Structure 1
Amino acid sequence: MIKKRKWLAAVFMAFALVAAGCSNGGNETANNPGGTEASEGGSGGDAGPSKAVWFSSIDFWNPPTTWSTDPNTVQGKITEKTGLTFEFNIPAQDGDTKLNLMLVSSGEAFPDVITITNDVLGKKLIESGKVWDLEEFLKQYDPDSHLLTDFPADVKEAVIDRDGGFYAYPSHINSEDARALYPPSGQFYIDLVDYASNGAIVVNGNLLKEAGLTLDDIKTESGLLAAYRKIKDMNMKVNGAPVIPLLVDGKSYQGPTLGFLQDSFGAMSVDKDGNYRDRLLAPETKLALEFLYKASKAGYFEPGQMTVDNAAVKADMASGRVFTFIGNSADTSFQNNDYWTSSGPILSDAGTKPVLWKSKRAGGGWMKTFISKSAKEPEKLAKWLSYMSSKEGMMLHIYGFEGADYNLDADGHVVKTEKGIKDATDYMKTGLNAFWPFHHTSFSYSTQQPPNEETDLQAVTANRVQSAYGKAEETVIYDGSPLSLPADLFPSDGKLANDELQIKTYKEAQIAKIILAKDDAEFGKLYDEMIAQLKKLGIEALDAERNKYVQEKKAEYGIDVSGINS
């Protein structure tokens, strides 16, 4: 559950929400690298641009499928500066599996650039010897790179601690050292750092008003369920289609939807004595499951929601007929409509306190980008890596062209134009805001003018929703840094890893049964069966090993964290 909890927080924040919002589907296509030659200012010289293959296992990342070399486009300007065009290889599904096959296959050409999120797969890449240590790579091919002198030391330390070397460039950098280089431009961004999270209950303000309700009416568990009943009894419709009282986060609901409810009802991965314990064993998790059971039994959400992909979730959100969404707000593109708001945590009728994990330590990035040792143009790729992570490069691919996509205010801060906002939303075609692996949160919070409703309504909407939970007076914010477990804590060929896999498979099936129980008696029976079976499958032995790691990190970091409720 820790790994999933980390994922929920990995891509939060207003500017990054557009970038990290899922659009599902994949685009395994070959791009057309034709067009103009690289200009004199680029690395391509008179020979014209070279094509590199960029593989990603992240199927909902959809950069433009056709690479334009027109220097008046984001992609074309990148080509002009680096001498490279890109062909994207992003499988629609099972990208990790495909990359694993590439690692062992001698018949398929290995990509030049690889972007993944899976830490274990990252270590396989490193162990294969197919990817560069970036410090070694840059010293050899771009010794003047800014990355050798100004990369945030705390983030670099986190990457090295995870991977054994500086092998991967991390996305969405946000740390104390990064903020020292790029200080926040205003209180708006300080609040995002201190309070924002992707996990949220997202509420349709239009439907809330139509139902004669307020945010205060739905702050508690019983109040929210009563609101669902009222919505259903009113037979509310939008454009002739019935209102959906509750939308869960599609087929991934057990991560973000259940995870948010576990947070709201106060479930933590440590007990009162500070010992690690899987959140499934926390009594507050039963409260979270019971909420979903009650909502399902009353017909407030359809079981089919638990099987759909992200595109279906986004379509429902865009329809205007969803009353509430619970899950990862970055999966929804909610910020495109300003009627969305949030009531903050859902306060349990049992009286437990909501909790929010906020790590004070630097992370190693959500997306991790590697450079292949078999790349045919290492010099150009080194210049490209340096350019994409530079202030000039980030200004281009995040904000576009000055005077068209943004202007600078009197303090030199970016103010997006209507065109810039529109093109960033349409990033799959325009390329603006499309290069998520190089998004840098601290940079954007420093570069952008603190938004208001006139300058950036999307950011204001995002902040309103994503900060509501953290700003609630009932929420207890804690530093969970020692609880962040490595994905490969257990050797892959050992008994503990096998037990972990069995538990994962079992719990996914059993949780669905619990939520869809026919009555209270069956709910209780299925829940008790789950706890008993988890223990039989060895979850307590796994937790004992995890606890050793957690206690070591508590001592190393000087951070003591204990359960606030159970």
Structure 2
Amino acid sequence: MDWKKKLKIPVLTFIILCAMLLIGYAVWYHDSNSAGSSGDAEKSTKSAKSKPVNLTLFSDISDWNAPEWSLRDGTLTKAISDHSDVSLTFNIPAQDADKELSLLLVENKLPDIITVRDSNIIRQLISSGKVWNLREFFLEYKSDSDILKNIPEGTLSDLMYRDDGWYALPTGYRDDDFKENNNTIIWNKALLEKIGINISDVKTESGMLSALKKAEDYRTLHHPQMIPILFDGTHYKDGSLTFMAYSFGASELDSKGRYQNIWTTQGGKEALDFTNTLLETGILNPSYLAYDLPQIQKMMAESSVLCYIGNINELDIDFDNWVSSGAVRSDTGAAPVLQNLSSSSYTLPNTFVSKSCNDLPGTAKLLDYVIGGKMLDDVTNDSQVIPFAVFSNPMWDRTLIGQSYINSNHYKKLHKLRGVYSKEPGLKTYDPRLLTLPVGMFKNHQKLEDNYNSIFEDTTDFISDILSAQSKGEFKKLYSEMLENYSSLRNNDLGNALNSQIEKNRKEFNTSANRKKSSAKK
């Protein structure tokens, strides 16, 4: 064979091999690039999913220790964002929240979600037409909502009567709260024994005052760090003080079923006088009335507190170490009153969705997941739930962990302490729905509404001054001024309007079975 022919064969082979290598490289490069693009796209998608839409939740619940939103694995807030594609920024003003929200309402700058307890602002929100009818909201944005399926019929019925439609989601309660009250009085068993006080000694107004004076003497001589009595901080007016007023026999309804402000009643006056005495003698430290919920929780968990009056639901304490004395009976012999709740009570947190909300589908998923109860399935420890307790409601009990909580030893002990008051002999109760003021009650009667709201605003200011009185003479003077102010605002027209509404409510709820069938369609 010619040497040229011999050389030609390997050269051709080499060229073919090079071509094959080049083709192989091109294919590999293309596939590699495609995979890279696909991976980048996947990363981009994941990145987009990790950035949920941020919404603002505004609340007037100043003692709510709302969670700091985190997207770290294992946090409940991340689980909520994963289910709803939204995150929350909480706006909870320390004071004047309702005035701030009223201004936002006027300026058409409502936050995305609103959770409030103030009756005036609730009526303003509904009357404005700027919040969603929740039936329409869920049907449009989450038609398979657990809330639509499971909200108790009685709750829906009462809300429709109060608001002339379904606009609010009431939370912060469980079924047992209708038979009991979150506010109660508890005593440290070990300290009672050390000081030599029996629980029977503190069942009356004078007996309790005597026992607390004995405790104050013991503190001075033997235990400087002990706290004889603790109220529930900034919430004291609606919590500790109101508990004492009801315990002394105060009621919003007089013997003829007419409306009255509890602070103008004998029981209300006694509660103010009793608390003024505690402050004046130094038994109750006035600085504790300015404490927020986390500070009160810390004191109850770490300090030597003899007696606590207020909401015990969010206290992180061993209930085995505490005992309740139930009602503190007035020295006048008046029967204690149980301030029942209903699902349409204004004092409960009511959640609204603004029509200007930035992410309506996400909000629907968030509310359904949290309030509907499925959130509890992603709870890994009880402490995760505490910041969301404001959203607790009977729908939570339908979940496995909800049932577990209801049947837990912790809840049973809590229930036992709260239940002592509700089992008091001769206890007076009334249907709280009698005090419902429907959204349209003050329509075309702005002056009446202004007077009604002023009564509560002015009373709060007067109470602060009355409790700070330096003598019983000053106490009587300030209390008389409050009564005069109340009388001037509560003119005959307002009184007649309130009593007329109570009478309408009495008739309405006596025939509630018939009403439920028709109103549920609204």
TM-score band, normalised by the shorter chain?
0.7 to 0.9
Structure 1 stretches lacking a partner, 5+ long: 1-36, 176-191, 406-419, 560-566
Which of 257, 262, 278 is residue 261 of structure 2 equivalent to? 278
User: Which residue of 33, 53, 56 maps to 2:55?
Assistant: 53
2:50 is the alignment partner of 1:95: no
CA RMSD of aligned residues (A): 3.5
1:299 to 275, 282, 305: 282
CA contact (8 A) 2:69 2:77 kept: no
Q: Find the aligned partners of 1:68 and 1:364 in 2 and give their Cα distance.
A: 33
Question: Residues 368, 235 of structure 1: CA spacing in aligned structure 2 closer, same or farther, 3 A cutoff?
Answer: closer
- Give the Å deviation of 1:488: 7.7
Amino acid at match of 1:273: K
Partner of 2:329 in structure 1?
Answer: 347
Residues 118-173 of structure 1, C-alpha deviations (whole Å, 9 max, x = no match):
34334433444443222222222333334334332221222222333222333246
Contact 1:174–1:362 (CA<8 Å) still a contact in 2?
Answer: no
How far apart are 1:439 and its partner, in Å?
2.0
Query: Where does residue 444 of structure 1 map in the other structure?
Result: 397
Q: Distance in 2 between matches of 1:201 and 1:375?
A: 42
Q: Which residue of 1 aligns with 2:132?
A: 132
**Distance in 2 between the 1:90 and 1:524 partners?**
36
Q: Percent identity?
A: 30
| The 10-residue stretch of structure 1 (337-346 or 249-258) with the greater mean CA deviation from structure 2 | 249-258
CA separation in 1, counterparts of 2:444 and 2:287?
A: 34
**Equivalent residue number for residue 234 of structure 1:** 218
Partner of 2:414: 462
Deviations 1:11-70, CA, capped at 9 Å, x for gaps: xxxxxxxxxxxxxxxxxxxxxxxxxx9x9xxxx999525313132223433443232153
How far does the alpha carbon of each residue in 1:496-537 deviate from its partner, in whole angstroms, 9 at most, with x for none?
333344444543344344444444444444434433443234
Give the structure 1 partner of residue 315 of structure 2.
333
Match of 2:186 among 202, 219, 225: 202
CA distance in 2, matches of 1:232, 1:437: 35
**Retained in 2: the 8 A contact 1:394–1:438?**
no
Change (3 A) 1:505 1:101: closer
> Take 2:100 and 2:68, find their aligned partners in 1: how far apart are those partners?
20
Q: Per the alignment, do residues 489 and 252 of structure 1 end up closer, same or farther by CA in structure 2, a change over 3 Å counting?
A: farther
Take 1:99 and 1:360, find their aligned partners in 2: how far apart are those partners? 25
Distance 2:432 2:372 in 1: 31
> In the alignment, does 2:501 pair up with 1:546?
no
Match of 1:253 in 2: 236
The list of structure 1 runs, each at least 4 consecutive aligned residues, that deviate by more than 6 angstroms after superposition, is none
Aligned counterpart for 1:80 among listed residues 82, 102, 127? 82
Tell me the SS of whatever aligns to 2:219: coil
Paired with 2:463 and 2:96, the residues of 1 have a C-alpha distance of 24
Question: Which of 379, 384, 389 does residue 361 from structure 2 map onto?
Answer: 379
Partner Cα distance (2:100, 2:356) in 1: 18
| SS of residue in 2 equivalent to 1:65 | coil
Displacement of 1:306 in angstroms is 4.0
Tell me if the contact between 1:172 and 1:365 (Cα under 8 Å) persists in the aligned partners. no
Contact 2:55 2:358 in 1 (8 A): no
1:5-404 aligned within 5 A: 47-49=48-50, 50-57=52-59, 58-68=61-71, 70=73, 72-105=74-107, 111-172=111-172, 174=174, 192-193=176-177, 195-235=179-219, 241-330=224-313, 333=315, 335=317, 338-359=320-341, 366-396=348-378, 400=379
- Match of 2:239, as an amino acid? P
Q: Name which of structure 1's ranges 81-90 and 486-495 shifts more when overlaid on structure 2.
A: 486-495
Query: What is the CA distance between 1:385 and its match in structure 2?
Result: 3.3
Distance 1:279-1:489 versus aligned 2 partners, 3 A rule: farther
Relative to structure 1, the CA distance from residue 246 to residue 365 in structure 2 (aligned partners, 3 Å threshold; closer, same or farther) is closer
For 1:365 and 1:510, locate their aligned partners in 2 and report how far apart those are by CA, in whole Å. 21
Q: Which has the larger radius of gyration?
A: 2
| TM-score using structure 1 length | 0.71
Q: 1:500 to 1:471 in 2, by over 3 A?
A: same
Change in Cα spacing, 1:539 to 1:80, as seen in structure 2 (3 Å) is same
1:498 matched to 2:450? The reply is: yes
Cα displacement string for residues 345-370 of structure 1 (whole angstroms, at most 9, x for unaligned residues):
00111111111133567658822223
Taking the aligned partners of 2:225 and 2:257, their CA distance within structure 1 comes to 47
Using the alignment, how far apart are the partners of 1:165 and 1:295 within structure 2? 46
Aligned residue pairs, count: 465
Following TM superposition, by how much is the alpha carbon of 1:224 offset from its aligned partner in structure 2, in angstroms?
0.8
TM-score normalized by the length of structure 2: 0.77
- d(CA) in 1 for partners of 2:147, 2:178: 27
Aligned residue type for 1:143: S
Structure 2 unaligned runs (5+)?
1-39, 512-522
Distance 1:123 1:334, change over 3 A: same
Q: Per the alignment, in what secondary structure is the counterpart of residue 435 of structure 1?
A: helix
